[in-house]
Amino acid sequence: MSISLIFVAILAFYLAFNLGANDVANAMGTSVGSKAVTLKQALIIAGVLEFTGAVLFGHEVTQTLATNVANPQLFINTPKLLLTGMVSVLIACGLWLQIATSRGLPVSSSHAVVGAIAGFSWVAVGVNAIDWFSIRLITIGWVCTPVISGVIAALFYSQIQRWILQQKNQITQLNEWIPWLSVALISTFGIIVLPTLTHPFQYLLIEKFGLQIPTNQISLFTGSVAVFGLTVYSWRQLAKVEKKDEPGEDNNQSIEKVFAKYQLLSACFVAFAHGSNDVGNAIAPLAAITYIMKTKNVPIGEIEIPLWILVLGAVGIVTGLAILGKNVIATIGESIITLQPSSGFCAELATATTILLASRLGLPVSTSHALVGGVVGIGLVQDFKLVKFSTLKNIAAAWLLTVPISAGLSAIVFLLMKTIFNF
């Protein structure tokens, strides 16, 4: 590996580090805020699942950002110009995320990367260098994400309120709903992820036993076993609650203890979803740079994302959230509404659904948007007055500033590098 590539890899790690430090709130903020897990537990769980999601699913979003935001056709004769621009993206996004993290602002890394790519492209080749069709698609995702996530969370939580939390016989009602909660949770994760996770089992069955079993049947069987296991486990937990091991607790407190188990699992799904989507924000520029260095050409269409790049991004995210993640975790977990495990579970399930679907489509949507939308949806169902709109205003302002600031920083860094290297 050349010295120049090592330097670029360090910059990509720096960006991934700051992305992890800022976006850990998206993965575990609600769980810590509702006291379902401790901060230390959240960091360990998120670290493992962020890494797994990034390595298994990160390539699709990485391809979208590496080849579809800036119009590669306009850089065909000047691949070094595109390479320099992607280096400026790494520096600009890393700086902005570091600044935001130091101030406790949960900004969107998707906004930062797309803005930075658009910023250097504009000054490098002109306004035509930006693929506006891809920008529009990505922007639609940004706008729709909080709305969709909020609607899903609100609908789900309103049903839990109606059929469980507002009933006199809450424990009996929860006992009847446990299988359906298990189906909803496992299905959200399984429909999208299990087909890929079960590929090794399918390969083993074909190579060792000669059994031609479709992937969807293996996924369905695996998901069914998971639903059964989660249902039985939850019934056992509910049985312990009914024994009133801790006198003085009302039914609502006991019910929330059971929901805390579901929220822990849903938080795992959010962490996996976050890693699968947001790793692309950190390593897409590196993927493009590596391709240019290797082929001396501009990446057009689909490109192969080397495994070491995915691993580098995953390690950077995990390191950042472990060291600096606690700086922004309270904003989403505690500063929008007061969360209980039941409401936090609904917000996380809505977020996981929204983000995992986006990842499979290759859309770099914002996990921040999805989770904030889910939390606000819960707040609107509970009581409109409980939502702390002052916090939302600060978050919204940070979101709006991210694109122009990252674009401006990227343009400045690009112009400086272009002058220094005389491109």
Label residue 359 by pLDDT band (50, 70, 90).
Answer: low
Q: What is the pLDDT of residues 382-396, one digit of tens each?
A: 887 878 888 788 888
Q: What is the pLDDT of residues 105-153, one digit of tens each?
A: 778 887 888 888 889 988 988 887 776 776 677 677 777 888 889 999 9
Share of the chain above pLDDT 90, in %: 13
Domain with 144, as residue range(s), is 3-421
Greatest mean pLDDT among 114-128, 195-209, 270-284, 329-343: 114-128
Q: Which of 73-87, 269-283, 391-405 has the lowest mean pLDDT?
A: 269-283
Quick one: pLDDT at residue 78? 84
Domain count, the chain: 1
Give me the mean pLDDT over the 206-229 stretch. 74
Share of the chain above pLDDT 70, in %: 80
Q: Which of 45-49, 212-216, 222-226, 412-416 has the lowest mean pLDDT?
A: 212-216
Give me the mean pLDDT over the 65-86 stretch. 76
- Asked if the model's pLDDT at residue 255 lies above 70, the reply is yes
Give me the mean pLDDT over the 351-358 stretch. 76
- Asked if the model's pLDDT at residue 248 lies above 50, the reply is no
- Asked if the model's pLDDT at residue 94 lies above 90, the reply is yes
Quick one: pLDDT at residue 210? 66
- Asked if the model's pLDDT at residue 24 lies above 80, the reply is no
| pTM of the predicted structure, to 2 decimals | 0.77
Q: Which of 37-51, 147-161, 309-323 has the lowest mean pLDDT?
A: 37-51
- Asked if the model's pLDDT at residue 50 lies above 80, the reply is no
- Asked if the model's pLDDT at residue 415 lies above 90, the reply is yes
Quick one: pLDDT at residue 79? 85
- Asked if the model's pLDDT at residue 226 lies above 80, the reply is yes
Compute the distance between CA of residue 231 and CA of residue 229 in angstroms, rounded to an integer: 5
- Asked if the model's pLDDT at residue 14 lies above 90, the reply is yes
- Asked if the model's pLDDT at residue 263 lies above 80, the reply is yes
- Asked if the model's pLDDT at residue 165 lies above 60, the reply is yes
- Asked if the model's pLDDT at residue 92 lies above 90, the reply is yes
Label residue 178 by pLDDT band (50, 70, 90).
Answer: very high
Quick one: pLDDT at residue 11? 93
Chain-wide mean pLDDT for the chain?
Answer: 80
Give me the mean pLDDT over the 38-45 stretch. 80
Quick one: pLDDT at residue 330? 66
Full 3-state SS string of the chain = CCHHHHHHHHHHHHHHHHHHHHHHHHHHHHHHHCCCCCHHHHHHHHHHHHHHHHHHHHHHHHHHHHHCCECHHHHCCCHHHHHHHHHHHHHHHHHHHHHHHHCCCCCCHHHHHHHHHHHHHHHHCCHHHECHHHHHHHHHHHHHHHHHHHHHHHHHHHHHHHHHHCCCCHHHHHHHHHHHHHHHHHHHHHHHHHHHHCHHHHHHHHHHHCCCCCHHHHHHHHHHHHHHHHHHHHHHHHHHHHCCCCCCCCHHHHHHHHHHHHHHHHHHHHHHHHHHHHHHHHHHHHHHHHHHHHHCCCCCCCCCCCHHHHHHHHHHHHHHHHHHHHHCHHHHHHCCCCCCHHHHHHHHHHHHHHHHHHHHHCCCCCHHHHHHHHHHHHHHHHCHHHCCHHHHHHHHHHHHHHHHHHHHHHHHHHHHHHHHHCC
**Is 227 or 268 the better-scoring residue by pLDDT?**
227
Q: Which of 5-14, 166-175, 275-284 has the lowest mean pLDDT?
A: 275-284
Quick one: pLDDT at residue 179? 93
